[in-house]
Structure 1
Amino acid sequence: MFEQAFKSIDDILHKDAGCTSELDYTEQSSWLLFLKYLDALERDRAMEAELEGRKYQWLLEKRYRWESWAAPKTRDGKLDLHKAMTGPDLVDFVDDQLFPYLQGFKTRASGPQTLEYKIGEIFGELTNKVRSGYNLRDVIERVDELRFGSSAEKHELSHLYEVKIRNMGNAGRNGGEYYTPRPLIRAMIQVLDPKIGETIYDGACGSAGFLCEAYDYLRSKQKLSTKDIKTLQEKTFYGQEKKGLAYVIGVMNMILHGIEAPNILHANTLGQNLNDIQPKDQKDIVLANPPFGGKERKEVQQNFPIKTGETAFLFLQHFMRMLKPGGRAAIVIKNTFLSNTDNASTSLRRKLLAECNLHTVLDCPSGTFQGAGVKTVVLFFEKGAPTRKTWFYQLDPGRSLGKTNPLNDADLLEFLELQKSFADSGKSWAMDAAAVDQTTFDLSVKNPKGGEADAQNSPREILDEIAALDAECAQVLGKIRALV
């Protein structure tokens, strides 16, 4: 039922003049899903208060609750056609009354970690793009069919929402910006093996895939106490996201996974000076796939000891600083980081090897990130001791990866098994840090059993690189046209 409802919603939005892409479909579905979820949450809280003999203070005034404007019902539970707005009246109410009211929660909230603040943040970032009130009424009726009651229902909804995020990422030029393959995320988490009580951070959280998967990993631990569950809800997962749409989707994704008031801030992570990060701010674990290819302004670069315009390199410095001594990290980064000869790349590799134990490098094949042709690696490291030896693994699923053949969990089983003991194989080997050139600090993936991995790209990889460059050029041209 849920899957059909999601498909129907997309079909309706596709017909609306205000929605033109998968991004719009996901955005517009998100705010309606959030309000439907909020209604279910408040009802549960009100019922719980009644059973305990307490009076419940509703967050939303009655006229702005889902039951009042979106889905008023008759006594027999059917939509009350006399009270349900539609057409221009519905659009006017949503645009001129509902959204301004919800945006005001940000200033009325007691703090940024409250649900009230999240409401204000979300609706401060969004606009209603559905221009036909009749289409909006149809979408609302489909959303109203969804239920958040049982854990099974929430699980199915979160799964379908993940599918929407994946489709949105694949539809854009930079798919990796919104969607990191979940099998890769799960493998990264298994290597780090977080424990309940440890803090987990992603400063470029996007759709919050890393935080959601880490929550599922910890939630699956047997016999969690009430204290454990409270710790997972309130004191485990932390994120920051610069872009408004990604922030909203990330919050919604975490809510659907079961975290009621996610600790995600809408902020530019790179705008923070590294010297301002104190020990109390540091986290036990960092999991991230920071954006790469961006060119940060000079004033942003001043926040970092190693100056560079490359966004991913600034994020890497931030993540190293955000780790507690003894903290663990798994970071996705462009594979050229291992071999670039510019001063920033060389200095950053030197810093990484000197301050952290870079124990594992996972070399991902082309096509791992659908819609992004560049090759990537995953860096696994621990903070507080220099690197002595690094274990490399070349992931080779034995097929070309793409939209019709995406990465799956089985593809990573050998990596996970061999990584436990840093075992030697045809795809894996170890390199002593002492053997690294102390001038260039080159860490290129060079399989001693099969020659240099990067010596010659395959035709598919060359075409993917060309496609990625074309996409970057198109983005730049688009920005230039917008300025003109």
Structure 2
Amino acid sequence: MFQQTFKNIDDILHKDAGCGSELDYVEQTSWVLFLKYLDDLERDKATEAELSGKTYIPIIASEYQWTVWAAPKLENGAIDHNALTGDDLLDFVNIELFPYLKKFKASADSADTIEYKIGEIFSELKNRIQSGYNLREVINRIDELRFRTHAEKHEMSHLYEDKIKNMGNAGRNGGEYYTPRPLIKTIVKVVAPEIGNTIYDGAVGSAGFLCEAFEYLKHSKKLTTTDVVTLQKKTFYGKEKKSLAYIIGTMNMILHGVEAPNIVHTNTLAENIADIQEKDRYDIVLANPPFGGKERAEVQQNFPIKTGETASLFLQHFIKILKAGGKGGVVIKNTFLSNTDNASVSLRKLLLENCNLHTVLDLPGGTFTGAGVKTVVLFFEKGSATQNVWFYQLNLDRNLGKTNALNEKDLAEFVELQKTKAESENSWSIAVKDIDQTTFDLSAKNPNKKAEAALRQPADILAAIAALDKESTKILATIKTLL
């Protein structure tokens, strides 16, 4: 049902003059979905309070509650035909509802509350749906959805992830919000966070890393009440520069079960890393910073190694913000391993001297659908210099693409061999003392890969063709004499 509802909503938004792409569909679906989710959450909390003999005070004032303005019901459960629609609905949403919800940011007790998130989300976006009749249809469809049971929330979170993935095909940099989930799950598995760790992504995008880390920890042991509070309030932290990605990331975490995500809308790279203190540091960094971006000179001043390459600045930030003994799993372009410019050389030296870069996963082209970029994943621990680096080259017997995406089974051998850093046809180790100490080149050159048969030279091919022609002529001559 959920899947069909999403498809119907996309069809409605496709007809609306204010929505031009899949990105707009996701953004506009998100705010309506959020308000329906909030209504179900409030009803659950009211029921809990009633069962324990307490009084629940709603977050949203009565006139702005979903069941009043969006979906007032008749006795038979159908939406009242007198419910707001057309220009009346648009005026209420744009002039009354959004300004009311924005105020929560200022009035909330702290940033880690659902009230603050409501205010922040509705400060960041606006209603783009231009037809009040289309908006009425969207509301009616979303009212059919339920967020009451664990199964319903689980299904909804998966469908929302699918919508985020589809944005990669929609242009306007939608793809940068989405890292393949099998890859994220594998990175989380290898980094192996524990309950009590603080987990950070400074380029949070759609919050895939934080969502998967939450799922991993949720199933890592039987959770106590204290564990649940720790996961909700004191584990996951993120920063995101772009408004749409911030909204999607926040919504994605909420749908996965984190009620008030600690995601901040800010440009991570605008912070001077010299100002990072011990209290600002985290146990674990999981991230796929945007590659190919270029940062202005004033942003570069926040870093000791000056470069315009966004991913290289993020890597400096991640190394600095990790606690001693902290662990990282970071996706980066494979050219990081071998670029000869001063910044790349200095950055490799910094990583090798300040962290134990124990594992490099070399991914095939096509891992990121729509991005013709080869990437590697760096796994490291802060606090001691690297002695040996274990490489694993993912060699698949198929080309990756939209219809043939990376899956967890593809990465199973890597996960298994990584535990012992075993050598194989796809894996090998290098000692840092043996690499060039001026360039610190870490090119992923697999010494164990079976050599492919050398291609013949054109002259040899022509000679072979001539010999075959000669032999064919002899055979034909013999056949003629026999006839």
Per the normalisation by structure 2, the TM-score is 0.92
Letter in 1 for 2:71: A
Of all paired residues, the percent bearing the same amino acid is: 68
1:407 to partner: Cα distance: 0.4
Which secondary structure state, in structure 2, belongs to the residue aligned with residue 92 of structure 1?
A: helix
Matched, 1:40 2:40: yes
Paired letter, 1:158: S
Inter-CA distance 86–173: structure 2 relative to 1 (3 Å threshold): closer
Q: Answer yes or no: is the 8 Å Cα contact 2:167–2:175 preserved in 1.
A: no
- CA distance in 1 between counterparts of 2:118 and 2:413 reads 43
Equivalent residues in 2 for 1:18-417, closer than 5 Å:
18-82=18-82, 84-172=83-171, 174=173, 176-417=175-416
Give, in angstroms, the shift of residue 320 of structure 1. 0.5
In the alignment, the residues of structure 2 paired with residue 70 and residue 259 of structure 1 have an alpha-carbon distance, to the nearest angstrom, of 25
CA–CA separation in structure 1 for the residues paired with 2:286 and 2:106: 31
Contact 1:445–1:452 under 8 Å retained in 2: no
Structure 2 counterpart SS, 1:248: helix
2:186 corresponds to which letter in structure 1?
Answer: A
Q: Is the 8 A contact 1:329 1:380 kept in 2?
A: yes
Question: Which structure has the larger Rg over C-alpha atoms?
Answer: 2
Once the two structures are TM-superposed, the CA of residue 451 in structure 1 deviates from its matched residue by: 8.7
Q: Check whether the contact 1:390–1:432 (CA below 8 A) recurs between aligned residues.
A: yes
In structure 2, distance between residues paired with 1:127 and 1:175: 19
* C-alpha distance in structure 1 between counterparts of 2:401 and 2:187, whole Å: 20
Letter in 2 for 1:382: E
Measure the CA separation in 1 of the matches of 2:171 and 2:418: 33
Contact 1:368 1:406 (C-alpha < 8 Å) held by counterparts: yes
Following TM superposition, by how much is the alpha carbon of 1:170 offset from its aligned partner in structure 2, in angstroms? 2.9
User: Which range moved further: 245-254 or 70-79?
Assistant: 70-79
Q: Partners of 1:173 and 1:242 in 2: how far apart?
A: 15
Deviation at 1:78, TM superposition (A): 1.5
Q: Distance in 2 between matches of 1:39 and 1:175?
A: 29
**SS of residue in 2 equivalent to 1:437:** coil
Question: Residue by residue, what CA displacement relative to the aligned partner does 1:295-336 show, whole Å, maximum 9, x if unpaired?
Answer: 111111111111111110010000001111001000000111
For 1:302 and 1:410, the matched residues in 2 are separated by 43
CA shift for structure 1 position 230:
1.1
Residue of structure 1 in register with 2:2 after alignment: 2
Task: Report the secondary structure of 1:124's partner residue.
Answer: helix
Give SS of 1:264's match. Answer: strand
25 and 416 in structure 1: CA distance in 2 versus 1, 3 angstrom threshold: same
* Structure 2 SS opposite 1:312: helix
Preserved CA contact (<8 Å) 1:285 1:329: yes
Q: Indicate if the aligned counterparts of 1:106 and 1:119 stay in contact, CA closer than 8 A.
A: yes
> Would the aligned equivalents of 2:23 and 2:174 in 1 still touch at CA under 8 Å?
no
Q: Equivalents in 2 of 1:364, 1:22: separation in Å?
A: 28
Q: In 2, distance between residues paired with 1:322 and 1:73?
A: 51
SS of the residue corresponding to residue 390 of structure 1 reads strand
Indicate the SS of the match to 1:60: coil
Shift in Å at residue 184 of structure 1?
A: 0.3
Mark the CA change 1:74 to 1:364 in structure 2 (over 3 Å): closer, same or farther: same
Between the aligned partners of 1:148 and 1:452, the Cα distance in structure 2 is: 55
Alpha-carbon contact 2:386-2:432 (below 8 Å) kept: yes
Between the aligned partners of 1:113 and 1:155, the Cα distance in structure 2 is 23
Matched residue SS, 2:121: helix
Secondary structure of 1:171's counterpart equals coil
Q: Deviations over 1:27-55 (max 9, x none)?
A: 00100111001111111112222222322
Look up the SS of the partner of 1:385 in the other structure: coil
Could you report, residue by residue, the CA deviation over 1:43-89 in whole angstroms, capped at 9, with x for unpaired residues? 1112222222322221111111101111001222221112x111111
Note the C-alpha offset of 1:175: 5.1
Inter-partner Cα distance in structure 1 for 2:121 and 2:311: 26
Residue deviations 1:250-309 (CA, integer Å, cap 9, x gap)? 010000000100011111111111121111111111000001111111111111111111
Determine if the alignment matches structure 1 residue 434 to structure 2 residue 429.
Answer: no
Report if the CA contact (8 A) 1:173-1:371 is conserved.
Answer: no
Residues 132, 176 of structure 1: CA spacing in aligned structure 2 closer, same or farther, 3 A cutoff?
Answer: closer
Return the alpha-carbon distance in structure 2 between the equivalents of residues 43 and 278 of structure 1: 42
Aligned residues: 452
Cα deviation for residue 217 of structure 1 reads 0.5
Q: Judge conservation of contact 1:446–1:452 (CA < 8 Å) in 2.
A: no
Counterpart contact for 2:112–2:233, Cα < 8 Å: no
Q: RMSD between aligned alpha carbons?
A: 1.3
- Superposed displacement of residue 173, structure 1: 5.8
Q: CA deviation at 1:117?
A: 1.2
Runs of at least 5 residues in structure 1 that lack an aligned partner in the other structure: 454-484
Q: TM-score with structure 1 length normalisation?
A: 0.92
CA distance in 1, matches of 2:173, 2:121: 23
**SS at the partner of 2:168?**
helix
For the 8 Å contact 2:427–2:448, the answer to whether it is kept is no
> 1:170 aligns to what SS in structure 2?
coil
> Is residue 425–residue 450 contact of structure 2 (8 Å, CA) maintained in 1?
no
* Counterpart-to-counterpart distance in 1, 2:444 and 2:175: 22
CA 452–125 in structure 1, closer or farther in 2 if over 3 Å, else same: farther
